[in-house]
A and B are shown apart, each in its own frame.
Chain A
Amino acid sequence: MSALPAQSIPAPRRVGPERAPRRLRPAPERAVRQKPRLAYAVIALGGVAIIIVAQLLLSIAVTQGAYEIDGLQTQQGTLTREEQKLAEELDRVESPQFLATKAEGLGMVPNANPVYLRLSDGAVLGQPTAATGGASASAPLVPNALIDGVPPSGEQASGQTPTGGIPDQAADAATQAPVEGALPTPATH
């Protein structure tokens, strides 16, 4: 029990209040703090302002981009439609029905008897036989609703072709072939 009083003496704590006045003293420090605070505020506000301006500029740029994209997408749509129109036209004219009708218009007939020339020795393989029969109108045999109403004859078709070059020659050939009588086939079809 004699030890208790000795333990209950918080000797060092009494030293604290004695030193406390020192803490309240540092007046000069305040003066030093005030200056940076203004600088920080300026920097912070400046930063905010810069961020806002940057964001605004970015936003303007993005919006500008959006209009640009929109314009280009509209243009793309137009071009896609244009491409589709041309592709459809091409598909029509490269269909076998259309080609056959044009070939018949030129007075061509199919020759069912193949003959081959072997280049190594010049041998003729197969029996050469002249094409028989006239050019028949094959168009109605294999219908194609897509080329109905598209004039298949040389002249009119070339009139539709924007470039006009080669089809014009084809049209010339179409009109000349029967006159020359070079092909051993009747021109009627």
Chain B
Amino acid sequence: MRRILLSAALLIALVGVFVVRLVDIQVVRASELNEQAQDARSQPVTVWGSRGDIVDANGKVLADSVMRYDIVLSPKQASKALVERDVPDPENPDKTMEVEVPLAQLAAELGAEVGLTGDQVQGIIASELAADPDSDYAYVAKLVDTETYERVKALDIPWVYADEHPSRRYPNGAVAGNLVGWVDPDGAPVAGIELAEDKCLAGANGEVSYLHSLQDWVKIPGTEIVHEQAHDGGTLKLTIDTDLQWEVQRIAEAQRQAVGASWAMVTVMEVKTGRLLAVADVPTVDPNDPSATDKADRGSRSFTAPFEPGSTFKALTAASVINAGKADPLSQVVAPYRIVFPNGANINDSSGHDDQNLTLTGVLVESSNTGMSQFGELMTDRARYDDMLKFGLGAKTEVDFPAEEPGDLHGDPDDWDNQTKYATMFGQGLTTTAVQIASAYQTIANGGVRMPVSLVDGCVGDDGTATSPASQGEQVISPEAANATSQMLERVYQDAWLSDEWNIPGYRVAAKTGTAQVPDGEGGYLKEYLVSVSGFAPADDPQFVVSVSYMNAVKMNSSAASAPVFQEVMSQVLKKYRTVPSGAPAPELPATW
């Protein structure tokens, strides 16, 4: 009986010890021990979540993510470890023998693949060892492509390895580079759509760890732990057409070089939808190599550089006046070279002339400042200002491009001085961006309905969810006023001094030129001129707006510099979208009386 009791007590004591130990291991120190166990045989591995693609309206890739490789070597191992290779035995051709390969040869072989000399590679090793004799990590080359990586791998040097590194690539180079922007080497967005739509594009890297066999690094089944789920970024679809964008950039750049302009902007917009089909800013940055382009030329001036629109703005004033019922295309006015208004404002035309008996149509054809001033004053400043706001001026467009400027309508009408009150009627004393002007012309072309400007068509997330921008138009002016303005602009296209320069056979076109100075940002003006043409076609059923601006065309400082570009781009657009030529000729509107 005592023996039984003794052994029972011993047994209980033993079980008690086990239980205590078990609780200690499983509960008290569980996490600590788990961690140790994991660390002993597994390491966290990054699962790359790739940044989403940027594609054009047809799905053509403008920006995508590729895997690049940083080639790394271990200076310590390079200096110590011997590398042996099997080479054919000269005595017995069937067998191989192991030969020790000297460091110099390996360095030369490695260098040849990554574009360095053997001495440079040895230099990297030496300098790294001088800094830290135990160094295991020194870059030989960064962001090399897959081909180079595979060639380096084929060398089979034990102390050389590669770090995977997702990188960004722009297959079309500078095509839409002004819009797409780029990311820095670490993958952070720097400019353009990359920056503006980072929320859609950004992926998230995940992390997993697993146990692996020591010998051949094979993953042991069932040991994988997902610490963080990786997910890819969404695909962003733009409204831009890559082919058209290229063609527009080509035309714009060729003319920019021909006329010696500092820079140029060309915008192509779809009339019915407000979609931007092409936005060219030349010179254009190549996002693959942003540093090759001058810093000021890397963005999109069409969004970020407001300018005084000049005479292209007269179309808007005319539309407002007609919409207000104060005039029609045949309303008459006497336009002198210079006119002084009762409030003291002193307005003159660009070149001297005798008094002209002009209709409103004629005022646009002759681009008469004095004539337009007399029509503009039929409305109150406040009413014109309100119309400008409704045309989308004075506020950022719906695109909300990075660093986009709203333009400046010279503050509020209450701030306008006497001269500004009249200057704003023909596009001076206020600033707009190129995209805003294109949008205003879109409004006139679209029967007075302004559509939200869109550059992004939508974002499709990696889980398939899609977003697309709202596209609700707003009636700015009456369809009748829009139609009347369109007909007057057709007369401008046919009768103005540049009519031979921009003729597109077979189509009815509405267009207006402009020449204006650019604010220097400090209250004054730059001495250079910005010459522009804005218009749309076919005028009988408007489909496309094209707006062209050239800055400081030293060899041809007038709208004649931009007119051929308007003609070429508009022709290309009409051809590309298979627009049927117009049938009936443009209606006649007398310019004089």
The answer to whether A114 touches B574, judged by C-beta atoms less than 8 angstroms apart, is yes
With A84-B146, A92-B171, A100-B250 known as contacts, the answer to whether A114 contacts B218 (CB < 8 A) is: no
The answer to whether B253 touches A84, judged by C-beta atoms less than 8 angstroms apart, is no
Q: Which of B150, B171, B286, B506 contacts A143 (CB 8 A)?
A: B286
- Which of B241-249, B453-461, B485-493, B544-552 participates in binding chain A? B241-249
Considering the chains assembled together, what is the distance between the CA atoms of A175 and B572 in angstroms? Answer: 29
The answer to whether B571 touches A125, judged by C-beta atoms less than 8 angstroms apart, is no
The answer to whether B254 touches A141, judged by C-beta atoms less than 8 angstroms apart, is yes
Contacts of B247 in A (CB 8 A): 96, 110
Tell yes or no: B174 within 8 A of A by CB.
yes
Q: Which of A62, A112, A127, A142 contacts B575 (CB 8 A)?
A: A112
Considering the chains assembled together, what is the distance between the CA atoms of A138 and B286 in angstroms? Answer: 15
The answer to whether A70 touches B580, judged by C-beta atoms less than 8 angstroms apart, is no
With A95-B175, A96-B172 known as contacts, the answer to whether A145 contacts B288 (CB < 8 A) is: yes
With A127-B506, A141-B254 known as contacts, the answer to whether A84 contacts B67 (CB < 8 A) is: yes
The answer to whether A146 touches B171, judged by C-beta atoms less than 8 angstroms apart, is yes
Contacts of B257 in A (CB 8 A): 141
The answer to whether A125 touches B175, judged by C-beta atoms less than 8 angstroms apart, is no
Interface flags for B580-593 (1: CB within 8 Å of A; 0: not) read 11000000000000
CB distance from A65 to the nearest CB of B (A): 7
Considering the chains assembled together, what is the distance between the CA atoms of A160 and B505 in angstroms? Answer: 43
Considering the chains assembled together, what is the distance between the CA atoms of A116 and B61 in angstroms? Answer: 31
Q: What's the tally of chain A residues with a CB closer than 8 Å to chain B?
A: 37
Query: For residue A136, which residue of chain B has the nearest CB?
Result: B254
Tell yes or no: B219 within 8 A of A by CB.
yes
Contacts of A96 in B (CB 8 A): 172, 175, 242-243, 246-247
Tell yes or no: A85 within 8 A of B by CB.
yes
CB distance from B583 to the nearest CB of A (A): 9
Considering the chains assembled together, what is the distance between the CA atoms of A112 and B170 in angstroms? Answer: 28
Q: Which of B242, B292, B507, B575 contacts A145 (CB 8 A)?
A: B292
CB distance from B101 to the nearest CB of A (A): 26
Taking Cβ atoms with an 8 Å cutoff, the residues of A that contact B are 62-63, 65-67, 69-70, 81, 84-85, 88, 91-92, 94-97, 100, 110, 112-116, 125-127, 129, 136, 138, 141-147
| Apart from A116-B580, A144-B174, A147-B173, 8 more pairs, CB < 8 Å | A62-B222, A65-B221, A66-B219, A70-B218, A112-B571, A127-B505, A142-B174, A143-B292
Taking Cβ atoms with an 8 Å cutoff, the residues of B that contact A are 61, 64, 66-67, 145-147, 149-150, 169-175, 216, 218-222, 242-243, 246-247, 249-250, 253-254, 257, 284, 286, 288-289, 292, 504-507, 567-568, 571-572, 574-575, 578-581
12 contacts between A and B (CB under 8 A): A69-B219, A81-B149, A91-B171, A92-B171, A112-B572, A113-B504, A114-B506, A125-B580, A136-B254, A143-B286, A144-B174, A146-B288
